[in-house]
Amino acid sequence: MTDGRKKAGKPVVETLTMFAQEFVLKQRTEILHALCSSGSTEHLERVLDILLAQGELIWEDYQNIQVLPESQIVGLSFAGCNSNLEEKEEYQSTSTHTLLTQRPSLVSKLLGRIHGALEALVISGHFTSADCDEVRLPVYTPSQQARRLLDHVRPKGELAAKVVLQYIQQKQETGSALNPEKLTPPKEFLKYQKKLSSSVSAQSCFLSTYGGTSHMSLDDIYTEGQLELAQYCADVHGPLGLEDIVGTVGTVNEEADTVLVSGEAGSGKTTLLQRLHLLWARGVALQQFLLLFPFSCRRLNSEHRELSVKELLFQHCCWPDRDQEEIFQFILDHPHLVLFTFDGLDELKQSFSDEKRLCCPTQPAPVHILLFNFIQGSLMKGVRKVVTSRPEAVGPMLKTHLCKEVLLKGFSPSGIDCFVRKHHSDNTVATKVLESLQTNTALLGLCHSPVLCWIVSQCHKELLGCGEGSPQTITDVYLMILQHFFQHQSSLKSTVGLGWFQDHLKTVLHLGQLAFEGMKNTCYIFSGTDLETCGVTENDIYMGFLIQSKDLSSNHGKHYEFLHVTMQCFFAALYIVLSNNMDHSTISKLFEVKDMWETDLTSSCFRACLPSTYQQDCSLQGDATAAETSNLQITATFVSGLLSKRHQSLWLQCCPSAVMEKKIRQVGKCLSKGMQKHFKSIPQPVEGEKKSMHAMPGFVWLIKCIYEMQESRIAKDAMSKLEVDHLKLTYCNIGPVECTALAYVLQHLRNPVGLQLDNNSVGDVGVEQLLPCMHICNSLYLRNNNITDEGIRKLIAKGIQCENFRKIALFNNKLTDACTQHISQLLRTKDDFLSLRLGNNNITAEGAKQLAEGLKFNHSLQYLGLWGNKIGDTGAEALAKALESSKTLVWLSLVGNGVGNAGASALANIIKNSPTLEELWLTENCITRTGVERLIEALKHNIHVKSIWLRNNDLSLEEVEEMTQRESRLVF
Ligand SMILES: Nc1ncnc2c1ncn2[C@@H]1O[C@H](COP(=O)(O)OP(=O)(O)OP(=O)(O)O)[C@@H](O)[C@H]1O
C-alpha cells in the first residue's frame, strides 16, 4: 500500500481499524480464497468499489492496486486504510465526488449503457477514441468496462463527470438501454439480422431423425422435455421453461455467461436447441437477443483453418452482404444482445482446456480455441452462450466457467403420452401404442429417452404385432427399428421369420464397418470416400439409416451422418459381433474403456487395435474426447445385447457358432472383471459402521450391459462377490431404465442391502422397475425422485410382502394424502418396520389421520419424519393419540407443520408415556408459551428424552431465556 495515507484521527475508528486488521490477518487465507478463487477479479473489484465509495480507500491506493499484477492484488490489506476526511471534504458535493461515493450503483447503472455513455463523452469532447478503446477492451466484463469508464472520467475533471451522471440520469428517465427495442441499429445490421433469422429458421424447422424416411416438422412433433437446474435453487418451484435456460434463474456465477445444458445420449439436447433457434427466428422467444448464432461442434470439427471471431460468425452462420465491419462493430458494442449456441461440446475433438487465452476478436485461432475462450469469457465477454453436452464430458475445470447448468432429463410420463399422440395422427393407433406401453413397463421406462420414444412410435406395427416377445432392452428396440427400415425401404419383402436380417446382411456389414471405423476416429460425418472404403452402396444409403449432412454437403461433395449417433453405435456393435475378421482383442478393449472420472480420458486402449498408420492419425488428436468414451460405452452395451442368447437366431446363420461362443465368453468375462474392479475399490468399513459402496457411473454402465445380455447366470455371478451392507447411488442419473437393470442384477445379491437412490429421476415407472429387487432391500432411500402416490401404492403393495424391508425414506417427492392409506396398511401389517420418513411432501391432517390408524397397530416403528408437510393441529393430535402408548418410538419430527399449541399439548402425552423417545422436533410450528408449558410439564415425567427442538416458534426472547433455565432439554 502507499504511504500517502492520512490518519483518521478518531479513537473509535482506530479501534475498529485495529479489529479489522486483526480480522484480516487471521482470516487472510479465507478472504483471499473468497476474493480470488472464482478465477475472476469481480469479487475483489466489488470490494474495492465499496471501499472507494465509503472513503476507506483513497484514489492513489486504488490506482496502485489497479496497476499491480493480478497475483499482487491480493496484497490488499486494511492496515492504515483510514478514512480520508480531508479529501472527502474537498470533493463534497462535486460530480467527481459523486462518481466515487455512488460507485457501486453507478457500475450497475452503466451496464448495457457503456456504448451510449462513451458516445456522450466523445461528443462533449472529453474522450478520444483511444479512451473509448481502452474502456471497451473485449477482455473486460461489462462491469469491468463500467469501472474503467469511471476510472477514465475522473482525471478528465468535473465537467466530464457531470456528462456521465447526466447521461445515466437521462437514460433512467427514458427507460432501459438494455431493451433492444430502444436501440436504433444501422440499416445494414437490420438486413443482416433478417438474413440470419431466415437462415436459422430454414435450418431448424425440420427434424433430422426423420430425414431418411420422412419429413417431420418440428412444430408438429416437438414435445417439452424435463428441464431441471443442476444445483438446488430455493426460488425454483416446478419445471423450468425454455426461456429459463438463458434467464437469470438458478445463476450460480454472475460473471460467467455460459449456460450448459447437459443430458444423456438421445435425451433431446440437439432438438431443444433447434426449438430455441426456431422460436427465436420466428420472433416468439429470446427476443432480448437481436442476433443468434447457432454452431454444431460436430461440424466445427471439420474446420481446420484458423479463424477470427468475425470469420467464424460470418462464414459458419451467415454472410453479411454489405458493411461487414459496421455489423461486427455493432456486435462488439452490444454483446448482451447476442446469443451463441454450441451443440455437442462433447463431440469436439479437443477436450476443454483454459490454458490458451485469447481476447482479441480479430486474431485468428483454431476454432476450438475460440470456443474455449468464449466459454471462459476472455473472448466476446457479455455474449450469452448456451452449450450442450453429455454429462460425463463436463469436467470440473469447465464448470468453473459456467453461469449455471441445466439438466435435460428426457420426457416425463405425460411427455411420452404427448409425443406418441403427436406422432400418430390416428388417435386409435396412438391409444393402442400407449396401452401396449402400459403393459410393458420396461419399454415404457425406455421411452423416457426421446430417441427411444421416437423408435417405439415409428415401429408401432412391429410393436403391436409382437405379443409376448415385446422389446425389453435397448438392443431389442434398435433391432426393431432395423427391421422396420429394411422392411419399409426395401423391395425385398421377406416376411417369414428372420429372413429380413439375412436379406440385408451385406448392408448391415457395410454400414457397420463405416460406423465402427468412425467410432475409432471420433468421426461422425462421412465423406463419399469414407463410404466407398467401406463398400456402402446407393442402395445401402437408401435404407434410411444415413442422412445427408446439412451444411457440409455443398462445398466438398456429399457428406453423410447416421440418423442419430446412437444408431452409429448400434451399427458399430453389429459389426463387432458379426464381422468374421475382427481382431480378437477388440471386445476386451471395448470393455476396458475407463470411467471418465476414474483416470484421464483413455479410450486409447481401443485405438490400440487399429492398424499402426491409423493410430498415428489418432495420436495427432491428443486424448480421446468425452463423446468417444460415452459412445464406446453405448456400443459395448449393444454388443452385450446382441450377444444375448435371445438374439442367437439372428447371427447363427451368418457366423460360425464357435466364434460367437467365444465372443459371448469374452463379454461375460469382461463384465465380471469390471465388477470385481469396482468391488475391490470398496474401502473396509470403519468400526461400528456398515460397509458401504458409492457406485461410480461405470458401475451403472456395467449393470446395464449385464441386463442387455439377459442372462441371469452372469448377473448372479457378478453379484455373488459383492459384500456390502449399503449401496449408494446418489446423483448417478438413475432413471427408469437404470432401475430396470439394477433390479435385474441386485435381486441376485446374497445378503440384504440398504439401497440409496437419493437425488435421481426414478419416478413412478422406475419404482415399478425396482420391485423385483425389493426383497433384498432392507432399506430404500428415494429422496427427491419425482415419485407420486401411484408409485408408492405399487411399492408398498410389494414391500408388505418383503421380509427384509424395514426402512423407507421418501422426502422431497410428490406425495399426498392419497398414499397414506397404503403406508398405513404397511405399518399395520409389518410389525418389524423401523423407519418412515416422508418429509417435504403434501400430506395434510387427513393423511396424518390415516397414518395414525396404522400406527395404532404397529409395535416397532422407531423413526417417524413428517417435517415440511401440512398436518396442522388435528393431524398432530391424531398422531399423538396413536403414538402415546408406543414402546419403540425414538425420534419424531413434525417440523414446519403448523401443529400449534393444541398439537404441542397432544404431543406432550407421548413424552409423558414414552419409555424410548429421545428427540422430538417441533421447530417452526407456531407454538406459544402455552404449548411449551405443556411440554415442560410432560418432561418432568420423562428422563429418557434428550432434546425437544423448538426453534422459530412464537416466543419472546425473555420467554426463551426463562424456559431454557427451567428445562435445559428444550432447544430454542
Ligand atoms: N423434445 C423433443 N420432441 C420431439 N422429439 C424429440 C425431442 N427431443 C428429442 N427427440 C427425438 O429424439 C431424437 C434424438 O434427440 P437429440 O438428437 O436431440 O438428442 P441429443 O441429446 O442431442 O443426443 P446426443 O447426445 O446423442 O447427440 C431426435 O432426433 C428426435 O427424433
Residue 591 Cα to ligand 1 middle (Å): 26
469 and 603 housed in the same domain: no
Is pLDDT above 60 for 181?
no
| Candidate from 451, 522, 628 with most ligand 1 atoms within 8 A of CB, to mutate | 451
- Domain count within the chain: 5
| pLDDT tens for each residue of 655-677 | 888 888 999 999 999 998 888 88
For the ranges 1-15, 17-31, 530-544, 748-762, which has the lowest average pLDDT?
1-15
611 and 672 housed in the same domain: yes
| pLDDT tens for each residue of 733-783 | 899 999 999 999 999 998 899 999 999 999 999 999 999 999 999 999 999
Q: What is the dihedral of CA 757, 763, 769, 775, to 10 degrees?
A: 50
Burial track 17-35 (b if 16+ CB lie within 10 A, e otherwise):
beeeeeeeeeeeeebeeeb
340 and 236 housed in the same domain: yes
Residue 268 Cα to ligand 1 middle (Å): 3
Residue 643 burial (C-beta neighbours within 10 Å; 0-12, 13-18, 19+): buried
Between CA 706 and CA 718 the distance in angstroms is 9
Is pLDDT above 70 for 173?
no
589 close to ligand 1 (CB < 6 Angstrom): no
Identify the residue whose C-alpha is closest to ligand 1 atom 29: 209
Residue 912 Cα to ligand 1 middle (Å): 60
| pLDDT tens for each residue of 563-596 | 999 999 999 999 999 998 788 889 988 888 654 4
Identify the residue whose C-alpha is closest to ligand 1 atom 4: 222
706 and 748 housed in the same domain: no
| Residue at which a domain ends, from 479, 502, 525 | 502
799 and 701 housed in the same domain: no
| Candidate from 221, 227, 270, 424 with most ligand 1 atoms within 8 A of CB, to mutate | 270
**pLDDT at residue 76 in the model:** 39
Is pLDDT above 80 for 196?
yes
Q: What is the dihedral of CA 632, 730, 236, 953, to 10 degrees?
A: -170
Does 674 map to a domain? yes
293 close to ligand 1 (CB < 6 Angstrom): no
Is pLDDT above 60 for 315?
yes
Q: Which residue has the higher pLDDT, 525 or 116?
A: 525
Burial track 810-825 (b if 16+ CB lie within 10 A, e otherwise):
bbbbbbbbbbbbbbbb
Number of residues in the chain:
972
Confidence of residue 869 (pLDDT cuts 50, 70, 90): very high
Average pLDDT over residues 628-656: 89
Which atom of ligand 1 lies closest to the CA of 454?
A: 31
CB-based contact 820:789 (threshold 8 Å): no
223 close to ligand 1 (CB < 6 Angstrom): yes
303 and 325 housed in the same domain: yes
- What range defines the domain where residue 228 resides? 189-213+221-408
Between CA 578 and CA 642 the distance in angstroms is 10
Confidence of residue 177 (pLDDT cuts 50, 70, 90): very low
User: How many other CB atoms sit within 10 Å of the CB of residue 274?
Assistant: 23
Beta-strand pair 559-562/546-548:
antiparallel
Please enumerate in sequence order all residues whose Cβ is within 8 A of that of 321, keeping only pairs 6 or more positions apart, or say none. Answer: 191, 192, 195
For the ranges 418-427, 593-602, 811-820, which has the lowest average pLDDT?
593-602
Identify the residue whose C-alpha is closest to ligand 1 atom 24: 265
| pLDDT tens for each residue of 363-404 | 899 999 999 999 988 888 889 999 999 988 888 888 889 999
Is pLDDT above 70 for 89?
no
**pLDDT at residue 549 in the model:** 83
59-67 and 42-53 are packed helices; what angle lies between their axes, rounded to 10 degrees?
170
Does 615 map to a domain? yes
Confidence of residue 651 (pLDDT cuts 50, 70, 90): confident
Which atom of ligand 1 lies closest to the CA of 267?
A: 21
Residue 194 Cα to ligand 1 middle (Å): 28
Cα dist from 641 to 65, 326, 383, 476, 739, whole Å: 63, 57, 45, 8, 17
Is pLDDT above 70 for 510?
yes
**pLDDT at residue 141 in the model:** 73
569 close to ligand 1 (CB < 6 Angstrom): no
357 and 440 housed in the same domain: no
| Residue at which a domain ends, from 722, 755, 774 | 722
602 and 685 housed in the same domain: yes
Does 556 map to a domain? no
Between CA 175 and CA 335 the distance in angstroms is 19
Does 644 map to a domain? yes
409 close to ligand 1 (CB < 6 Angstrom): no
Which atom of ligand 1 lies closest to the CA of 223?
A: 3
390 close to ligand 1 (CB < 6 Angstrom): yes
Average pLDDT over residues 782-809: 96
222 close to ligand 1 (CB < 6 Angstrom): yes
Residue 556 Cα to ligand 1 middle (Å): 27
| pLDDT tens for each residue of 257-269 | 999 999 999 999 9
Identify the residue whose C-alpha is closest to ligand 1 atom 7: 268
455 close to ligand 1 (CB < 6 Angstrom): no
Is pLDDT above 60 for 523?
yes
CB-based contact 625:349 (threshold 8 Å): yes
Residue 412 Cα to ligand 1 middle (Å): 14
Confidence of residue 82 (pLDDT cuts 50, 70, 90): very low
Confidence of residue 253 (pLDDT cuts 50, 70, 90): confident
Burial track 54-75 (b if 16+ CB lie within 10 A, e otherwise):
ebbbbbebbebbeeeeeeebbe
| Residue at which a domain ends, from 722, 742, 764 | 722
815 and 923 housed in the same domain: yes
415 close to ligand 1 (CB < 6 Angstrom): no
411 close to ligand 1 (CB < 6 Angstrom): no
Joined grid coordinates for residue 433: 401404442
Is pLDDT above 50 for 111?
yes
**pLDDT at residue 609 in the model:** 40
**pLDDT at residue 116 in the model:** 83
- Give 573-618 as a 3 state SS string: HHHHHHCCCCCCCHHHHHHCCCCCCCCCCCCHHHHCCCCHHHHHHH
Residue 588 Cα to ligand 1 middle (Å): 31
Between CA 47 and CA 82 the distance in angstroms is 15
Does 734 map to a domain? yes
**pLDDT at residue 372 in the model:** 92
Residue 431 Cα to ligand 1 middle (Å): 23
Between CA 196 and CA 356 the distance in angstroms is 30
Does 533 map to a domain? no
423 close to ligand 1 (CB < 6 Angstrom): no
590 and 477 housed in the same domain: no
| pLDDT tens for each residue of 677-696 | 877 776 665 666 666 677 77
**pLDDT at residue 498 in the model:** 64
243 and 98 housed in the same domain: no
Tell me the average pLDDT of the chain.
84
Does 508 map to a domain? no
270 close to ligand 1 (CB < 6 Angstrom): yes
Which value does ipTM take for this structure? 0.99
* 436: amino acid identity, one letter: S
* 434: amino acid identity, one letter: L
Is pLDDT above 90 for 552?
no
Average pLDDT over residues 246-273: 92
Between CA 321 and CA 201 the distance in angstroms is 19
Beta-strand pair 306-307/365-366:
antiparallel
CATH number at residue 336: 3.40.50.300
Does 893 map to a domain? yes
32 and 120 housed in the same domain: yes
266 close to ligand 1 (CB < 6 Angstrom): yes
**pLDDT at residue 354 in the model:** 78
**pLDDT at residue 210 in the model:** 64
344 close to ligand 1 (CB < 6 Angstrom): yes
Joined grid coordinates for residue 754: 440398504
When mean pLDDT is compared over 13-27, 202-216, 421-435, the highest value belongs to 421-435
* 914: amino acid identity, one letter: S
Q: What percentage of the chain reaches a pLDDT higher than 70? A: 83
Is pLDDT above 50 for 208?
yes
565-578 and 474-489 are packed helices; what angle lies between their axes, rounded to 10 degrees?
90
Identify the residue whose C-alpha is closest to ligand 1 atom 25: 265
Q: Which residue has the higher pLDDT, 451 or 51?
A: 451
CATH number at residue 919: 3.80.10.10
Question: Half-sphere exposure of 189 toward its Cβ, with a 13 Å CA cutoff?
Answer: 18
Is pLDDT above 70 for 467?
no
DSSP string, 912-962: HH-SS--EEE--SS---HHHHHHHHHHHTT-SS--EEE-TTSS--HHHHHH
Is pLDDT above 50 for 90?
no
